[in-house]
Amino acid sequence: MSKSWFTSLFLSAGIIVDQMMKGSLAQITNSEYSEQQAPRFFLSLKLTEYSLLDSVPLLSNLVISILYFLCIVWVGKLYVTAFRKNQMGPLVGMVILLTGLLCNFFDRSVAGHAFSCFLLKMNLIYLSFSIADIYIPVGIVTYIYFTYFKRVKS
């Protein structure tokens, strides 16, 4: 399988899985989550809206969308570099990271906010994330591992 086919398939599959999960949960639930119903170590599968700056939603959406776009451009540049150098390990990391960035960028562009379908509540700490949010750190760790740690060993 060529690198471009791998990239296309992984990006498409990753985005489809993320959007199908969010769409399914939106139909099952009414997109509202009551924090009072969540016990201490509860992992919720209800869809919630997530925004960093609730007081100025338009500004926060614009700023975060611009940051996502810049990250996508930067990751795209790293992807092209890894593609040209035929480095499959860093390429996999960039594709996973790009998938997460694109999923969140699509959510912000279409709905105006990112959706999270997992809410992990521990005492006063609420961790809200989605499949796309999982792709991002996995992609970063994969890229760093194959770029820096594999280079030292070889």
Q: What is the model's pLDDT at position 35?
A: 41
pLDDT at 70 (0 to 100): 83
Q: What's the pLDDT at 18? A: 77
If you average pLDDT over residues 7-36, what whole number do you get? 65
**Predicted pLDDT at 86:** 75
The predicted pLDDT at position 34 comes to 39
Q: What average pLDDT does the chain have?
A: 70
Q: How does pLDDT run across 26-76, given as a tens digit for each residue?
A: 666 554 443 444 344 444 445 555 544 444 456 666 776 777 778 778 877
> What pLDDT sits at residue 60?
65
Between 15-19, 78-82, 116-120, 131-135, the lowest mean confidence (pLDDT) is in 116-120
CA distances from 54 to 57, 58, 98, 109, 114 (A): 5, 9, 26, 17, 13
Are 43 and 119 spatial neighbours (Cβ–Cβ below 8 Å)? yes
Give the pLDDT confidence score for residue 36 in this predicted structure: 40
Q: Using N-to-C axis directions, what is the helix angle for 88-111 and 57-84, rounded to 10°?
A: 160
- Please tell me what DSSP assigns to residue 117: -
pLDDT at residue 16 in the model: 77
Residue 97 clears pLDDT 70, i.e. is over it: yes
Cα 153 vs. chain centroid, distance in angstroms? Answer: 30
Name the CA dihedral angle for 22, 26, 32, 37, rounded to a multiple of 10 degrees: -80
Higher pLDDT, 110 or 139: 139
CA 100 to chain centroid, in Å, comes to: 3
The DSSP secondary structure of 26-72, one letter per residue, reads HHHS-S---GGG--TTEEE---EEE-S-TTSHHHHHHHHHHHHHHHH
Task: Give the residues across from 125 on adjacent strands.
Answer: 122
